[in-house]
Structure 1
Amino acid sequence: MKQVLAAIASVPSEKGTILLITNYTGDKLHFGLAAERALAAGFAKKVVVLPATDDVSIGRSRCEKVGRRGLAGNVINPERGFVRFSDNDDTVLLINNYGGLSNLELGALTQETLSQLVDPTNLEATVRLACERAIKSEPDLTKWDMVMGDGDCGEAVKGVCEGMSPII
């Protein structure tokens, strides 16, 4: 919550602040509390929490009964974030922790990824290889997530990788 309050305080606006978040219970709780504290502390005159609810990693037919969930990437997805990007815009890299990595591991992953951004060809080859390996690992990922989670992890990862592979 400290980070959210710091972010709100760092970009003051007379018109208000929109917190575009993923539609997870924990996010809604923590960002909602941060919004209330920001108002009480006078960091902003108006703060609105807007949960994004479209999960592009799972096909519509597979989730029609329960609906799609929000993912971190929806904030920078031009079709969902209502932002138009052009070829000359800077590149954004979003690294999301789905809860399985420690802060140390996530930091190491981020640093390694950033070090490879110097050469786009290297990054393309790395992402392509990661997608190929993730697709092949789908049965194991699904099996492990059925034991430790809700069983959709492998299929979601495979779906993302299959969607990314043709456009890499």
Structure 2
Amino acid sequence: MRNLVWGLLCFVLLNACKKDSGCGYSDQKIVAPVAEQQAVKDYLTSNNINSALKDSTGFYYEILNTGDGTGTPGLCSQVELNYTGQLTSGHVFDQANTAFTLGATIEGLRKGLPLIKKGGHIKLYIPPTLAYGNTDVKDNSGTVVIPANSILIFDITMNSFY
């Protein structure tokens, strides 16, 4: 299932990404609609999550540990992390220890991971537009694992990047 989610993620972004010099990834400058931002805020409020901060693109985040070292990952960086991804219902759709190129993932992760350094720990609350939008994500058997228009919650520890 993890490979399916990351494979779909890479396919969508590689086909939608504007190419530039270097590694080929560029800032998409996507901002979630106000209604989606409000839905994330409502989720946080109803779950007494008061420490989350709002990014200008519309996702919310809690930095649990900033990490150490210098620098943060860029779009061309290979990131190695442990994560759990879940829906607002609490259903865990994926968890793994994995590595990927930051630019080849959903916008919410592309913007959220550079907020921490190596060893950092962050929770991201990502509205649909910065995740999979109005597209269902299915596993190999055709079962929907992430319904369209879902708010995603990621609990991430970044082990390394280069």
| TM-score by shorter chain over 0.5 | no
Q: Which has the higher contact order (CA 8 A, sep 6+)?
A: 2
Of Structure 1 and Structure 2, which has the larger fraction of its residues in helix? 1
Of Structure 1 and Structure 2, which has the larger fraction of its residues in strand? 2
**Bucket of the pairwise TM-score, normalised by the shorter protein:** under 0.3
Higher gyration radius (CA): 1
TM-score by length of 1: 0.23
TM-score by length of 2: 0.24
